[in-house]
Amino acid sequence: MNRSDAIAPSISASGLVHGYGKGAARTPVLHQLSLQFWPGELSLMMGASGSGKSTLLAVLSGLLRPESGSVNLLDTPIWNLTERELERFRFQHCGYVFQNFNLFPALTATEQVALPLHFAGVRETQARQRAEAALDEVGLSGRMGLRPAQLSGGEKQRVAIARALIGSPKVLFADEPTSALDSANSEIVIALLQKIAKTHGATVITVTHDPRLTGHAERIIRLQDGMVIEDSRPNGTDGAALSLAAGTAATGTQHSTGNHP
């Protein structure tokens, strides 16, 4: 598919190889994978268990070092960074959402979301205001003072999404964010992730088994045995065009689309 030279991908991965174990016991997982992702789009990575999708997500997001290959994330070759540099880069630019929510039982929704800002040295009042704004964005303005035991599964996941959004990440990674949710809450969560891609101009990459989510994605990548067997855009939307639209929405600036289709 043709891309506009004026639109840079937010992620470029090349020649990714990874496996688990050593020698004769080694199980290969990723086989020379190369992919690019653009701002302003929600991409679903799908495949059976063992297809390599969660491993690929971990490699792309800076959580798992590949055996070989490169990942250029926001113009930064992340696997050339030191561990401390990589940790700082992830904190500054990336958001993460996991299937088990990773919430602290004793903290309210507002405290959960504000926590990353406290680590960044943001003052208490400002951190609380930003946390409340993030919770309002995910539809939880009336649940801010509740702890995880008082929230439904869908509400817990929305708290986790609000926490991931608190630092205004340019890239959001979600690993099976709807696997523990019923149909109604799955619909809410995936629609929210799609909205984040469009309104924030973020790159959102989601690993899922759930075929119900495909109607919300601009792009679907199917993996099998560590290789991409399908890379499609169900609505025929070009990633560069989505990037331009996201930039326009975020800045109010009109962009020229050049010669891409």
Write out pLDDT tens, residues 154-200.
999 999 999 999 989 999 999 999 988 999 999 999 999 999 999 99
Residue whose structure tokens are 């409340």 = 132
93 token code pair = 């630019």
Residue whose structure tokens are 């891609």 = 197
pLDDT at position 256, please?
31
Residue 62 · residue 95 · CB < 8 Å: no
pLDDT at position 231, please?
95
For the chain, the domains span 11-19+27-250
pTM: 0.85
Residue whose structure tokens are 């495909």 = 214
The rounded percent of the chain whose pLDDT value lies above 90 is 73
- Distances 138 to 16, 96, 134, 221 between C-alpha atoms, Å: 34, 15, 7, 26
The answer to whether residue 62 scores a pLDDT higher than 50 is: yes
Q: Count the Cβ atoms, other than its own, within 10 Å of residue 122.
A: 18
Write out pLDDT tens, residues 108-151.
999 999 999 988 889 999 999 999 999 999 999 999 999 999 99
| 165 secondary structure, DSSP code | H
**C-alpha to C-alpha distance for 1 and 3, rounded to whole angstroms:** 7
- Distances 115 to 19, 104, 131 between C-alpha atoms, Å: 34, 10, 9
pLDDT at position 237, please?
55
CATH code linked to domain 11-19+27-250? 3.40.50.300
**In the predicted model, what is the mean pLDDT of the chain?**
87
pLDDT band at 59 (very low <50, low <70, confident <90, very high): very high
